[in-house]
Structure 1
Amino acid sequence: MRQVLTLIADPAVFTLDDAVAKQARAALADLGAQTAPADWLVPSIACDIGFDGLNDDQAQAAVAKALAGMPVDIVAQPVEGRRKSVLVADMESTIIQQEMLDELGDLVGARDRIAAITHRAMNGEIDFKGALRERVALLAGLDAGVLTQMIGRITYMPGAATLIATLKKHGVYCALVSGGFKTFTAHVREQLGFDEDQANDLIVEGGKLAGTVFEPILDKDAKHQALIRITAAKRVPVAASITVGDGANDLPMLMAAGMGVAYHAKPSVAAQARARIDHGDLTALLYIQGYRAEEIVVA
């Protein structure tokens, strides 16, 4: 079979079984596709269904309709080139559970105001650069030491450590590219084992946050350029990359990559990305690439 459709469940809330896989196969067959029996990547969590005779969008739409109401993610793609050699990941609300500017807003009594701007920027409603400058300005006068203190608030998305550990074991180059701040990306890179990190830098004057950020600001175009730079440096085509993010500033890199994954993303992002994970954890990125239970490093 030249195409493969992967079903992925969140093991905390739903168990995949043969009955669900048969429903998916039947939906494909009803449209005239040839299908293969379910190939279980991880029992009860993820399986592949090989198929021919439909394009990816047709297959995903048919199975999504058949499994409507089930907390199951569905990704269809060609079998060839499925495993990628480069990962470029957003950090906030993707690899970690926080938006760190929102957390910093707590310290100046402006969390709700900053969070509202963050939400609008991540949904593509307002310009990211302007939104970043506006939020950072509210932090002026804070002791620069609060950045290190805020590291203690970082918690990782379920599956993040396993994702990076597994990819690294299999020789994948992993980059963290964030519109957030270097203090936090450097910590996450070191803790999880990313190969590199790229982010914005806050300006500090006299030990205090100046309320400004060094230019140029790393935004959606910079993330896209990072993807191009990294794949060129590794001497692999952009098609050999997988990217993941949740916000509008991730869209260019999601659209350019061989596989761009919208992870629990804002509606405008989920609607445009090549693949979307609405239910599973970050190990879903392993199943999308066909990793099996015995290949996964549990971290």
Structure 2
Amino acid sequence: MTLSPTPRPLVVLDCDSTTIQDEVIELLADAAGTREQVTEVTERAMRGELDFAESLRERVATLAGVPESVFEETYRRVRPTPGIHELVAEVHARGGKVGVVSGGFHEVLDPLAQDLHLDYWRANRLEVADGKLTGRLTGPIIDAQAKADALREWAAAEGIHWGSTVAIGDGANDLKMMEVAALSVGFNAKPVVTDFADVAIEDDLRRAIPLLDRLLETP
């Protein structure tokens, strides 16, 4: 009997409160003195009560005037989620790829991607002028549809079959990419995500590693 080869997985994660323990917009808001205002809007958006793009613009507007040195300062405060290094290593050991797609910001995700040895990453960009944040975004907004599109794009680029795709997230903005993945995993997720996901896990991303074996069952 010839055994089927182990599938090469593509695992795509949300960033804030999934790949990392923090919400980067809230860390940035600390520098602007708007943390409380931003946190309330973030929570409503994560529960699906607000349009993501609208809520993002509202939160980013509070950052106007903050010096761009805030990016380096913020990255030093970022805490990778327990188990993320092990999950990335396991996916790579299986010949697969790991991507992070974020409603947060490239200015913090870029160094994180290097440190975690990610294969793909995508996020929003903050506009800077004269060394300070303008309170506006530049380029396309990475919303729920953009997250789903990224998963499809990266799978196609790697020649990875749909049946070997995994999406991991925690908020309403992750639902569309979870819908298109073969396996959807809620991580410390909001109720709307836990109810939708194929599997819900908490606290440690190493708990996602055994789930990769489920991909073996997909034709």
Give the share of equivalent positions with the same residue, in percent: 36
Extract structure 1 runs of 4+ deviating beyond 4 A: 80-84
Deviations 1:199-226 (A, max 9, x none): 0000001111010001320100000000
Distance in 2, matches of 1:119 and 1:251, equals 16
Distance in 2, matches of 1:149 and 1:82, equals 42
Give yes or no for contact 1:88–1:242 (8 Å, CA) kept in 2. Answer: yes
Counterpart for residue 112 of structure 1? 36
Deviations 1:227-275 (A, max 9, x none): 1111111122222101101011100111110111010101111111121
2:64 matches 1:147: no
Give yes or no for contact 1:151–1:184 (8 Å, CA) kept in 2. Answer: yes
DSSP-derived class of the 2:31 partner:
helix
Q: 1:245 aligns with which of 164, 169, 186?
A: 169
Q: 1:122 aligns with which of 41, 46, 56?
A: 46
TM superposition shift of 1:290: 3.2
2:91 matches 1:91: no
DSSP-derived class of the 1:218 partner:
coil
Higher helix share: 2
Deviates more, 1:98-107 or 1:236-245: 236-245
Distance in 2, matches of 1:84 and 1:104, equals 36
**1:46-61 matches, cutoff 5 A:** none
TM-score (ref. length: structure 1)? 0.68
TM superposition shift of 1:112: 1.1
Amino acid in the other structure paired with 2:44: R
**1:23-38 matches, cutoff 5 A:** none
Q: Quote the RMSD (CA, aligned, Å).
A: 1.7
> Judging changes above 3 Å, is the alpha-carbon distance between structure 1 residues 170 and 237 closer, same or farther for their aligned structure 2 residues?
closer
Give yes or no for contact 2:8–2:95 (8 Å, CA) kept in 1. Answer: no
2:180 matches 1:256: yes
DSSP-derived class of the 2:103 partner:
strand
Deviations 1:62-91 (A, max 9, x none): xxxxxxxxxxxxxxxxxx999552111111
> Judging changes above 3 Å, is the alpha-carbon distance between structure 1 residues 81 and 243 closer, same or farther for their aligned structure 2 residues?
farther
Distance in 1, matches of 2:94 and 2:85, equals 14
TM superposition shift of 1:165: 1.4
Deviations 1:20-70 (A, max 9, x none): xxxxxxxxxxxxxxxxxxxxxxxxxxxxxxxxxxxxxxxxxxxxxxxxxxx
Counterpart for residue 286 of structure 1? 209
Give yes or no for contact 2:8–2:94 (8 Å, CA) kept in 1. Answer: no
DSSP-derived class of the 1:225 partner:
helix
TM superposition shift of 1:198: 0.5
Distance in 2, matches of 1:252 and 1:133, equals 20
2:123 matches 1:236: no
Counterpart for residue 182 of structure 1? 106
DSSP-derived class of the 1:124 partner:
coil
**1:153-164 matches, cutoff 5 A:** 153-164=77-88
TM-score (ref. length: structure 2)? 0.92
Distance in 2, matches of 1:208 and 1:238, equals 42
Amino acid in the other structure paired with 2:204: D
* Gapped regions of structure 1 (runs ≥ 5): 1-79, 292-299
Give yes or no for contact 1:254–1:273 (8 Å, CA) kept in 2. Answer: yes
Give yes or no for contact 1:83–1:289 (8 Å, CA) kept in 2. Answer: no
Q: Which has the larger radius of gyration?
A: 1
Distance in 1, matches of 2:163 and 2:39, equals 34
Give yes or no for contact 2:60–2:137 (8 Å, CA) kept in 1. Answer: yes
> Judging changes above 3 Å, is the alpha-carbon distance between structure 1 residues 131 and 91 closer, same or farther for their aligned structure 2 residues?
same
